[in-house]
Chains A and B, each alone.
Chain A
């Protein structure tokens, strides 16, 4: 029996139990009633301007991008503040993910309404380009990944829970991609995406949307010497990429990315411009490479 060791062990146990207890009491409601309230309604979402519509989303077309204004007010019922909350929405999965929206909500303070008024710009050209990624002859899958991140459980200045969880929802579409054709000495490539049966609303909506921008004609975008043409048909959409000077469009964009100062690529069109930010630029080049017959 070693009295000294026993005493030391009891002291360490007391310190550890105290730290755990103080951390838990600060972060989790110990009152039984509060706890069940928290579980059933952790965060209430309200809209002060429009009580019938908890989250108000305004969509406008800005050049070739879709601009969304999101307005809502969140009240968290957790005892502590939830810090560094963000929501990112991606199109694609694993290595080929296009960042559509990145909403940084910051801190959700407990008990008081946190007003969120954010603007999100969605590059529609990238959404369209993703249609190229379907494997030849198979149906196109649209995986949407929503990543929610937050930090909770504050203890001694650090957060014990620091999570970012990506949840994936895959929508199967009944339109089929095809094998891209590469011509003109490897400089140009084109692909036509068909609907299988006439009931697919998503494809119809996309074609109508494009016709509303261009008035029924093809949409042509340029970046330096590379040109991209999107032509909506009655139940198909075709994408063409044209390079020049012996280089394919993928190579031209790759060089433009390397030469640009802030890592962005700008596509111009008669209807407006769109800027692809540095994160998505690499993915855009990968998609172009798939179009030119290579793999990502």
Chain B
């Protein structure tokens, strides 16, 4: 390569390399997308719940207000929605660190732990009794309808815990796989800094 090309290569970090280095801008982008995603999902869930309950979108606002008691603090739905915020927060902060750094691995594992805590919040205790939505209760076949349903969730919880614990392997694998590229990019960045000084 000519001198000119070598200089060109070394004055800037390539986009590829930036993946392996810390970046505040990435955090901002990730927070923005997470918030938009979260709000959209919550709105869809609420719209679905309202539709299932009342079978039409007329009187949407009044129906929304009557659903308020589904979303009581301490209730399952409330725990599920609000409890997911720490998971998003940990995910966003972790994105600050580049791939292959110890920080990214630590936050990847912390995110798995946060999801486990979220599952345990939702499935509190050994059994959860689900209040059937009115729609199901009025469905009748020959005079027989559903009155109540009690679901014990201890077994499901254990299964989900196993999956999340295994998922902790993924940030570790990512760390090991990207370490060399991270070291190269970091060294490149140090070289650039030395050049400027």
Within 8 A of B (CB), among A1-43: 2-9, 11-12, 15-16, 19, 23
The answer to the question of B175 belonging to the interface, with a C-beta cut-off of 8 Å to chain A, is yes
Contact of A164 among B150, B156, B172 (CB under 8 A): B150
Most buried by A among B127, B155, B156, B178: B155
State whether A163 and B149 are in contact (beta carbons under 8 Å apart), knowing that A12-B167, A153-B155 are contacts in the complex.
Answer: yes
Within 8 A of A (CB), among B158-197: 158-159, 162-163, 166-167, 169-170, 172-178
Least CB distance, A4 to chain B, in whole angstroms: 2
Contact of A12 among B143, B155, B170, B175 (CB under 8 A): B170
Determine if A19 and B159 form an interchain contact, defined as CB atoms under 8 angstroms apart: yes
Least CB distance, A101 to chain B, in whole angstroms: 16
What mask results when residues 133 to 154 of chain B are scored 1 for a CB within 8 Å of chain A, else 0?
0000000000111111111111
The answer to the question of A93 belonging to the interface, with a C-beta cut-off of 8 Å to chain B, is yes
Determine if B148 and A158 form an interchain contact, defined as CB atoms under 8 angstroms apart: no
The answer to the question of A81 belonging to the interface, with a C-beta cut-off of 8 Å to chain B, is no
The answer to the question of A204 belonging to the interface, with a C-beta cut-off of 8 Å to chain B, is no
Total residue contacts A-B, CB cutoff 8 A: 109
State whether A158 and B155 are in contact (beta carbons under 8 Å apart), knowing that A149-B150, A163-B149, A167-B144 are contacts in the complex.
Answer: yes
Determine if B149 and A9 form an interchain contact, defined as CB atoms under 8 angstroms apart: no
The binding surface of chain A is classed by DSSP as: strand
Determine if A165 and B149 form an interchain contact, defined as CB atoms under 8 angstroms apart: yes
- Cβ contacts under 8 Å, B176 to chain A: 4
- Cβ contacts under 8 Å, A93 to chain B: 147
A41 and B110 alpha carbons, distance in the complex (Å): 48
Determine if B144 and A8 form an interchain contact, defined as CB atoms under 8 angstroms apart: no
A152 and B197 alpha carbons, distance in the complex (Å): 70
A94 and B155 alpha carbons, distance in the complex (Å): 27
The size class of the interface chain A forms with chain B is 35 or more
A149 and B152 alpha carbons, distance in the complex (Å): 10
A93 and B175 alpha carbons, distance in the complex (Å): 57
Determine if B127 and A162 form an interchain contact, defined as CB atoms under 8 angstroms apart: yes
Determine if B163 and A16 form an interchain contact, defined as CB atoms under 8 angstroms apart: yes
- Cβ contacts under 8 Å, A160 to chain B: 155-156, 159
Determine if A4 and B166 form an interchain contact, defined as CB atoms under 8 angstroms apart: no
B166 nearest in chain A by CB position: A12
Determine if A166 and B177 form an interchain contact, defined as CB atoms under 8 angstroms apart: no
State whether A2 and B178 are in contact (beta carbons under 8 Å apart), knowing that A8-B169, A158-B155, A158-B158 are contacts in the complex.
Answer: yes
- Cβ contacts under 8 Å, A155 to chain B: 155, 158-159
State whether A7 and B177 are in contact (beta carbons under 8 Å apart), knowing that A12-B166, A19-B159, A170-B143 are contacts in the complex.
Answer: yes
State whether A165 and B174 are in contact (beta carbons under 8 Å apart), knowing that A12-B169, A16-B166, A158-B154 are contacts in the complex.
Answer: no
A171 and B144 alpha carbons, distance in the complex (Å): 10
- Cβ contacts under 8 Å, B145 to chain A: 167-168, 170
Least CB distance, B144 to chain A, in whole angstroms: 5
Least CB distance, B18 to chain A, in whole angstroms: 16
Residues in B lying within 8 Å of A, measured CB to CB: 99, 127, 143-156, 158-159, 162-163, 166-167, 169-170, 172-178
What are some 13 contacts across the A-B interface (CB < 8 A)?
Answer: A5-B170, A5-B173, A6-B173, A8-B170, A12-B163, A16-B162, A158-B154, A161-B155, A166-B146, A166-B147, A167-B146, A168-B144, A168-B145
Given contacts A161-B155, A164-B149, A171-B143, 8 further A-B contacts (CB under 8 A): A6-B173, A7-B177, A8-B172, A11-B169, A158-B154, A162-B155, A163-B152, A167-B144
